[in-house]
Amino acid sequence: MRRNSLYIVIVVCTALLLNACSKKTDGPDVPNPDPPITGPLLSFPKKEMRSVWMTTAWGLDWPQTDYNVASQKQQYINYLEKFKSLNINTIFFQVKPMGDAFYNSPYEPWSVAITGTRGKDPGYDVLKFMIDEAHARDIEFHAWMNPYRIATRTGTGSQYPALHTSVKSEWVVDHEKIQIYNPAVPEVRQRLADIVKDIITKYDIDGIHFDDYFYPDPSSAGQMVSDQTDFTKYGQGYSNVQDFRRGNVDKAIKAVYDIIVATKPAVVFSVSPAPSRDYNYNTLFADVVKWCQEGWIDIVMPQLYQEIGNKSNDFQANLAFWAQNRYKAAVMIGHGYYKFGDATAPAAFQSTDELQKQFDLTNRDTRVLGNAMYSAKYITMNKIGITDKLASIYKDKVVMPFLGRGVAPVPPAPTNVRIEGTQLKWNASGDVKSIVYYFANKDEKGKVLTITKNSGIEITAKGLYSVSTLNVDNQESDRSSAIEKK
């Protein structure tokens, strides 16, 4: 009896040790995305953020030089209706494209894209309207900001627009073709954090999103202004100007992360870097991998706009790199949707097969939790039937993954799941939605039948049903035991 007891102790201790040693250290520091269930072992569908970027710089996606309030509102609603029909669940809307704003900001003027005149009040709360309309369709709204860019021009022959009254000229650098907030200046980093605090305090947004514009790329900025004076003034502790620049951007990212956590921690912070780690690190001076490692960003969404097999920026190789180096961040993949059907794009983008192949790769990688299309207007264009292809890929609904920090209580599982005639019913409590999963049989992968505020739905198909609940942070409860309709 003593030998048997000792044997059991050894086995248990060994199992615990092996389990501890087998835990991954390179994955996102988030809860298990697939809650346990009791009953048959079922294959649940992958959770996904399905997103689209909506560009407002130069009015590209919205409002496309339409300055009439009623028609620009309708244009936006038409976008949302199209996204909803495609089961897209997130938009990244550009609210700060050019040192300006799509809301009444104390820091930056109203965007020229809204009325045609920079600084002109459009007469309605643009951002509230957009957020409310998105949320009414169960679409998350993430506020996309360009952190540093203030203005662009073709060359020194034209002038940059006047700075907002709150902006000091010593905070700004005028390069040949781009005017930016100076990343080296501490007041600039504080201002960026203050802008983020202002918007997340005023508005019910789901996330803050930065693109890949940090230090400018000389190839597009033209003649660059030297920052040797900045290095002399602020560069103590850095051995070279390159590390100094990366340190400046690090401090800006950390400041934004800290202000989000302190002000409204449920807000998700994401960055969409260029595909190449070296380009980000050595040209834009953005050490994105470090941000993932430190946990300063919640989502890394690399812009993998090149085709599979591209000689210098292969989609598959970049996908593998970012999936492997995501650390504490969730990884989403940005697709060059605008290239499909563009006669100037590589041959791969003249067929919808390329998008299918890219999705096959991201779907097979369990570390990838979503995809983003650039950009909105190309979804409505449907060149070469690319949106028809997207519709077939997105034909089934999905559950949004839990990202960032939860502030709501973990949702209780539904109780008393039952079938009464043609009705599947259950009891749910709290501020939750219910997810109904359907399986044709125990061996086939399931799908999300619906996500609803109701506590019952009509069912006709034979098979297995499981129900869970979802809170406002997208945390899912345990899934119910499967119940069979015969």
Residues 95 and 190 in one domain: yes
| Bridging pattern class, strands 447-452 and 456-458 | unpaired
Residue 175 falls inside a structural domain: yes
Residue 3 falls inside a structural domain: no
Residues 54 and 149 in one domain: yes
Mean pLDDT score of the chain:
93
pLDDT band, very low/low/confident/very high, at 39 (cuts 50, 70, 90): low
Residues 209 and 102 in one domain: yes
Give the C-alpha separation, 100 to 130, whole Å: 17
Asked which of 366, 393, 420 is the last residue of a domain, the reply is 393
Residues 432 and 389 in one domain: no
Give the C-alpha separation, 134 to 206, whole Å: 11
pLDDT of residue 33: 52
State how far the alpha carbon of 360 is from the alpha carbons of 171, 256, 349, 356, 415, in Å: 46, 34, 16, 6, 36
Asked which of 393, 424, 458 is the last residue of a domain, the reply is 393
- Domain CATH code at residue 442: 2.60.40.10
pLDDT of residue 40: 60
Residue at 348: amino acid letter: A
How many CB atoms within 10 Å of residue 310?
A: 17
Residues ≥6 apart with Cβ < 8 Å to 154: 177
More confident residue, 27 or 407: 407
Residue 225 falls inside a structural domain: yes
pLDDT band, very low/low/confident/very high, at 41 (cuts 50, 70, 90): confident
For 481, the domain range is 408-486
Residues 415 and 385 in one domain: no
Residues 90 and 157 in one domain: yes
Residues 431 and 295 in one domain: no
pLDDT digits (tens, 9 = 90+) for 392-438: 999 999 999 999 999 999 999 999 999 999 999 999 999 999 999 99
Residues 384 and 463 in one domain: no
Give the C-alpha separation, 46 to 199, whole Å: 32
Residues 273 and 309 in one domain: yes
pTM higher than the cut 0.85:
yes
pLDDT digits (tens, 9 = 90+) for 139-181: 999 999 999 999 999 999 999 999 999 999 999 999 999 999 9
Residues 309 and 381 in one domain: yes
Q: Which residues of 175-207 are buried (b: 16+ CB within 10 A; e: fewer)?
A: bbbbbbbbbbbeebbebbbebbbbbbeebebbb
Residue 38 falls inside a structural domain: no
Residue 120 falls inside a structural domain: yes
- Count how many domains the chain has: 2
Residue 22 falls inside a structural domain: no
The pLDDT of 3-23, averaged and rounded, is 37
Residues 209 and 172 in one domain: yes
Residue 401 falls inside a structural domain: no
Residues 244 and 281 in one domain: yes
- Domain CATH code at residue 68: 3.20.20.80
Q: In a 10 Å sphere around its CB, with 0-12 CB exposed, 13-18 middle and 19+ buried, how is residue 453 labelled?
A: exposed
Structure tokens at 478: 């345990």
Residue 168 falls inside a structural domain: yes
